[in-house]
Amino acid sequence: MKAETGRSNLIRAAMNAPYLAREEEHDLAVRWKEHRDQAALHRITIAHMRLVISMAAKFRNFGLPLNDLIQEGHIGLLEAAARFEPERDVRFSTYATWWIRASMQDHILRNWSIVRGGTSSTQKALFFNLRRLRARLAQGSETLSNETVYSEISAALGVSKADVAMMDSRLSAPDSSLNAPVLDEGSGSAERMNFLVSDDPLPDEIVGSTIDEQRRKGWLRAALGVLNERELRIIRERRLQDEGATLELLGEKLGISKERVRQIENRALEKLKAALLRDNPDFAAA
């Protein structure tokens, strides 16, 4: 009830807000941009909230609460105000329209369905225009096959027919809860989630990987024994840490040039490679 009252008050305030003349709009925009005048920002935004509400109404067929769309549109309106350049000869409403629409569309793409659509510009165009284009094609006297419809929409939006078909299936099919029971015989009370295929490695793959990793670490520990103290320090700090030290930093610590550090490092790596291949002939294939 409170939400409905709040929405009604917001819509009423927006519709009663006076329009801004070009000169007044420009002065307010300058005051906000140059002096961060909050009163000027408020007057600009409240005068353009009717634009937000109008655009939110156009997106209400996607099943999201109108209040949420208005809120997202208001965020887009504030973003437009932050980026608007009053010295350009453009009305604020023209500039703000793009930001308001983009903010609402992003919100719809994030929340419309469990099965997410794409977020590229072409996928967004497909998501928001597919139903309109399909309805337009259906108005003709001739009954068109899905293949023909997909071809027409593909050409109109510059996307592949496969993308059109996939988006059409996503928009047509209802979402299914992963906690819904599977009704096939013999499934008992199992839920859909129980039948999802895991992308995790199989247990034998995990064990094999662990054994291989331990074996390689053992080879490396043994090979490090062929290095002298300075070579070992350089290899440890340059190669065996998450964030390797720079040549400059090591040079300062050791009192030598960075070029000398590089030469010592290369020599140490050659010694390590020779030791690994000598003691473990199968190392190269591991």
> Residue 204: which pLDDT band, with cuts at 50, 70 and 90?
low
Of the listed ranges 42-46, 66-70, 217-221, the one predicted with least confidence: 217-221
pLDDT at 215: 75
- Please tell me whether residue 191 adopts helix, strand or coil conformation: strand
Residue that is written with structure tokens 């291949």 in the block = 277
Token pair listed for 132 = 């309109």
User: Which residue has better confidence, 109 or 48?
Assistant: 48
Q: What is the DSSP string of 36-100?
A: --HHHHHHHHHHHHHHHHHHHHHTGGGS--HHHHHHHHHHHHHHHHHH--TTSS--HHHHHHHHH
- Residue pair 223/272 in contact (Cβ under 8 Å)? The answer is yes
Mean pLDDT value of segment 225-233: 89
User: Which residue has better confidence, 225 or 216?
Assistant: 225
User: Which residue has better confidence, 191 or 240?
Assistant: 240
Sequence-distant (6+) residues with CB within 8 A of 53 are 10, 11, 14, 15, 70, 73
Cα separation, 9 vs 6, in Å, equals 5
- Residue pair 43/16 in contact (Cβ under 8 Å)? The answer is no
- Please tell me whether residue 263 adopts helix, strand or coil conformation: helix
Q: What is the dihedral of CA 243, 246, 249, 251, to 10 degrees?
A: 130
Cα separation, 168 vs 150, in Å, equals 9
Token pair listed for 175 = 């979402």
Residues 50-68: tens digit of each pLDDT: 999 988 888 887 778 888 8
- Other C-beta atoms lying within 10 Å of the C-beta of residue 258: 14
Residues 115-141: tens digit of each pLDDT: 444 555 666 666 676 667 777 766 665
> Residue 112: which pLDDT band, with cuts at 50, 70 and 90?
low
Cα separation, 239 vs 269, in Å, equals 10
Residues 167-202: tens digit of each pLDDT: 666 665 555 555 666 555 555 556 656 655 556 666
Phi first, then psi, for residue 191 (nearest 5°) are -100, 165
Mean pLDDT value of segment 266-284: 80
User: Which residue has better confidence, 195 or 280?
Assistant: 280
Tell me the average pLDDT of the chain.
77
Q: Is the four-CA dihedral 117, 123, 128, 133 of positive or negative sign? A: negative
The model's pTM is 0.46
- Please tell me whether residue 181 adopts helix, strand or coil conformation: strand
Amino acid at 206: I
The yes-or-no verdict on residue 114 having pLDDT over 50 is no
Sequence-distant (6+) residues with CB within 8 A of 63 are 112
The yes-or-no verdict on residue 253 having pLDDT over 70 is yes
Residue that is written with structure tokens 């005051």 in the block = 31
Q: Output the CA angle 272-277-283, nearest 5 degrees.
A: 105
Highest-confidence range of 21-35, 59-73, 238-252, by mean pLDDT?
Answer: 21-35
pLDDT at 206: 67
Cα separation, 57 vs 41, in Å, equals 24
Percent of the chain with pLDDT over 90: 17
Cα separation, 111 vs 103, in Å, equals 12
- Residue pair 130/180 in contact (Cβ under 8 Å)? The answer is no
pLDDT at 168: 66
> Residue 242: which pLDDT band, with cuts at 50, 70 and 90?
confident
CA max distance for the chain:
86
pLDDT at 263: 93
